[in-house]
């Protein structure tokens, strides 16, 4: 769904804040999702294909295509080259119409157990 | 859902890469993971824009911030996500979201400009987020001992400090491993020191 190839404007570092822009055109100006919270680390899974009305915009459909398997909100934004806030609004639409399921990370500040941490250490070593 | 491993929701761990301007955050994320830009944006509040125009959100202004974003796939069920924190003060609002639920952080330090990493160290200390300090050894930079850096940063004795080279995958891996081991160790501690 990239509309243009990655260019210098993607290599935004710390020089300046980006230009004041209106990335919310794609959401019809809506800045708040219709429903849901959508942590960066929440996972999205597309629901059964025939459930709910056909989503209105190509971006909605791109999300559904990308979420045939569980995909993190942050990955969606990076893959679709859309700002996170825009993706959240689109996800809210899809959630409200039953097109996706959301799996938020645990609400409490909960560290993973030792087995997971060990798996991470071993996995990193093996990289 | 279809059957199959790929349909399970993986465990996703978030690690922040912080530090001062130009210290090697992007380099580190790129060395250990497939790096991609992630655009976030903030809707400027009426206060910051200096208007109370509520006639339509369409008129609201936003500013975009691109962050370093990388993913390391440990296995089908376990992913590590790296977020390079935006370096400038005006992006503190992004830190809170990034820090939420984070496993821990790597604070990169450059001994030629050690003070640049103070805000990051403060931030994680105050919130009780586990962190390690990676002293990025730039060529030609004076090498300080780990203990000299520890005392200059006034770090607790249990905070790991490593000399590293952000350009090196091996070195970056070691820093991440040190962080995860530090988290595991802290978890065993009944009482936090901060
Ligand atoms: N010699 C040496 N150079 C490094 C090292 N890490 C980064 N650099 C160089 O330092 C410069 C800045 O590195 P970046 O990774 O862009 O730093 P950054 O923290 O992302 O910078 P900002 O996002 O602008 O704050 C680049 O030219 C890197 O190639 C290192 O460990 N050793
Ligand atoms: Mg950078």
Specify the DSSP element, H or E, that contains B48: helix B46-49
For residue B42, list its beta bridge partners: B63
Percent of chain B with pLDDT over 90: 57
Tell me how far apart the alpha carbons of residues B93 and A90 are, in angstroms, rounded to a whole number. 22
What are the structural domain ranges in chain A?
Answer: 13-126
CB contact, 8 Å: A116 with chain B? Answer: yes
Model confidence at B94, pLDDT cuts 50, 70, 90, reads confident
Average pLDDT over residues B106-125: 93
Q: Establish whether this prediction's ipTM goes over 0.85.
A: no
Other residues' Cβ atoms within 10 Å of the Cβ of residue B11: 17
For ligand 1, atom 10, the nearest C-alpha belongs to: B24
Average pLDDT over residues B61-88: 88
Q: Which of A7, A69, A120, A127 to mutate to test the interface with B (most CBs of B within 10 A)?
A: A120
Query: CA nearest A100 in B: which residue?
Result: B1
Specify the DSSP element, H or E, that contains B66: strand B62-75
Percent of chain A with pLDDT over 90: 48
The rounded radius of gyration (Å) of the Cα atoms in chain B is: 19
Residue A90: predicted pLDDT: 94
Specify the DSSP element, H or E, that contains A89: helix A84-96
Order of all β-strands in the sheet with A100-103: A71-72, A43-46, A100-103
Which residues of chain A make contact with B1, given a CB cutoff of 8 A? 45
- Of A101, A111, A41, A66, nearest to B71 by C-alpha is A41
Higher-confidence residue: A7 or B25?
A: B25
Q: Give the residues surrounding ligand 1 with Cβ less than 6 Å away.
A: A 13-14; B 21-27, 87, 136-139, 165-167
Tell me the C-alpha to C-alpha distance, in Å, between residue B124 and each of B99, B112, B138, B163, B187: 9, 22, 24, 20, 16
Tell me the helix, strand and coil percentages in chain A, rounded to 5: 40, 10, 50
Assigned CATH topology for domain B11-186: Rossmann fold (3.40.50)
The pTM (predicted TM-score) of the whole model is 0.84
Average pLDDT over residues B28-45: 84
Is A50 in contact with A83 (CB distance < 8 Å)?
A: no
Query: CA nearest B21 in A: which residue?
Result: A14
Read off the pLDDT of residues A6-49 as tens digits, 9 standing for 90 and up: 444 444 434 444 544 556 777 777 777 766 678 999 999 998 76
DSSP state of B75: E
Tell me how far apart the alpha carbons of residues A8 and B191 are, in angstroms, rounded to a whole number. 47
What are the structural domain ranges in chain B?
Answer: 11-186
Tell me how far apart the alpha carbons of residues B80 and B70 are, in angstroms, rounded to a whole number. 8
Ligand 1 atom at minimum distance from B27 CA: 15
Evaluated on CA atoms A38, B34, B131, B96, the torsion sign reads negative
Q: Looking at A1-127, which runs of residues are DSSP E strands?
A: 20-21, 43-46, 71-72, 100-103
């Amino acid at each position: 769904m990239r509309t243009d190839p990655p260019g210098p404007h993607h290599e935004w570092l710390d020089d300046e804040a980006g230009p004041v822009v209106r990335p919310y055109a794609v959401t019809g100006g809506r800045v708040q999702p219709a429903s849901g919270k959508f942590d960066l680390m929440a996972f999205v899974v597309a629901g059964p294909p025939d459930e709910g009305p056909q989503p209105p915009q190509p971006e909605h459909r791109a999300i559904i295509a990308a979420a045939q398997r569980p995909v993190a909100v942050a990955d969606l934004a990076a893959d679709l080259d859309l700002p996170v806030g825009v993706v959240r609004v689109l996800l809210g639409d899809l959630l409200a119409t039953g097109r996706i399921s959301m799996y938020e990370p645990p609400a409490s500040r909960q560290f993973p157990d030792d087995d997971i941490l060990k798996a991470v250490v071993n996995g990193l070593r093996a990289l | 859902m279809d059957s199959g491993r790929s349909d399970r929701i993986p465990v996703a761990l978030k690690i922040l890469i912080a530090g001062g301007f130009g210290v090697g955050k992007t380099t580190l994320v790129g060395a250990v993971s497939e790096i991609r830009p992630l655009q976030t944006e903030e809707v400027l509040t009426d206060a910051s824009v200096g208007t109370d125009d509520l006639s339509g959100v369409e008129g609201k202004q936003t500013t975009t911030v691109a962050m370093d974003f990388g993913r390391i796939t440990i296995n089908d069920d376990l992913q590590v996500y790296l977020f390079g924190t935006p370096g400038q003060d005006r992006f503190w609002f992004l830190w809170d979201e990034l820090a939420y639920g984070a496993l821990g952080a790597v604070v990169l330090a450059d001994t030629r400009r050690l003070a640049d990493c103070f805000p990051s160290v403060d931030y994680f200390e105050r919130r009780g987020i586990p962190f390690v300090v990676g002293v990025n050894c730039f060529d030609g930079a004076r090498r300080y001992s780990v203990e000299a850096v520890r005392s200059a940063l006034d770090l607790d004795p249990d905070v790991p400090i490593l000399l590293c080279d952000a350009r090196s995958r091996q070195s970056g891996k070691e820093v991440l491993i040190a962080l995860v081991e530090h988290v595991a160790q802290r978890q065993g501690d009944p009482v936090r020191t901060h």
